Amino acid sequence: MDRNISDLVSSAKAGDKQAFGELYREYFAPIYRFVLFKTKHKETAEDITQTAFARALGAMSNYRDKGVPFLSWLYTIARNLCLDHFKKKSDVVPADPDIWWAEVEGNLPADKFSQAKETSEALWRAMEALSDEQREVVVLRFIEEKSYAEIAQILKKNEEALRALNYRAMKVLKDELGIMNYEL
Amino acid sequence: MIKDRGMDEEKFTQLFAPFRAITPSQETLGRVLETVTISRVRRFSIWTFAGIMVPVAVFVLLVWQGNRPLNPTREILAMEEESSQIEQELILLDSNLDNIDI
């Protein structure tokens, strides 16, 4: 898969729109999820993800694979766009989780959906208690299943600092879930 | 257990699993891809348009100012014709002066 991605990146750099389309289909969802958990707003997340890919397309010729994977580069673009967004608009009303859960419904088996929804709503509420930095690490670590080395590249932090950040985040989540009488 | 993860991390990874099912709808995916492609096409069109129009505008401006660097021969011929007309007028004037009896 990595070989395929690196081929696609090379082709996209050379102006192959179809190759960029493939990269887009491969990476849209993780970038969208990352932005969604930062903005907590479905439409804003779609807009920012769309802009991130448009920026990436425009800057493809400048992308150099210097040990930073293409996906990490996309995360960095999306993260910077989120920061710009919050500088301009800090009063975005968080969307009702039910709106985007409707999209999840079709992606999970029916019998697992209601239990998953209950668990995830508890987690979503617990995540409100995390700082922005902690939420970024939690999303990349537990949802996107990235290694600390990969997270370090994306967030430009050292691995030890990330481990400490994640440890504190897990403690906050445990406490919050405990308050909600939710057992781990 | 996933490599590089302790017990707590493993539990949280499982707990967060339903969130991995969050994906934008196909409709959103298609619409966004279209927008990304169109913005690229638009940018290309603007630069193409500018690339064509700027040299055309410069050429029109030069022609309008009477500066025609592409056809200097025509300019020389026109000057020659004008000078021969002046020469003939001078000859005519000279012959007129000869006819005046002082």
- For A73-119, write each residue's pLDDT tens digit: 999 999 999 999 988 876 655 656 666 666 666 676 777 777 777 88
Whether B18 and A120 have beta carbons less than 8 Å apart is answered as: yes
CB contact under 8 A, A104 and B9: no
Distance CA A145, CA A136 (A): 12
First and final CA of chain B: distance in angstroms? 128
Chain A interface, best mutation among B10, B11, B15, B35, by max A CB count within 10 A: B15
CA dihedral B25, B26, B28, B33 (to 10 degrees): 150
What tens digit of pLDDT does each residue of A24-58 get? Answer: 888 999 999 999 888 888 888 888 998 899 889 88
Extract the tokens encoding B89. 């007028």
CB pairs under 8 A between A and B: 89
Q: What value of ipTM does the predicted structure carry? A: 0.79
Report phi then psi at A42, rounded to 5.
-60, -50
Distance CA B29, CA A103 (A): 13
Distance CA B19, CA B1 (A): 19
- Count other Cβ atoms within 10 Å, centred on residue A98: 9
Q: Which residues contact A81 (CB under 8 A, 6 or more apart)?
A: A35, A48, A51, A52, A55
pTM beyond 0.80: the answer is: no
Nearest CB partner across the interface for B35, out of A17, A50, A120: A50
Give which of A72, A183, A33, A142 is closest to B23, Cα–Cα: A33
Extract the tokens encoding A23. 């990269």
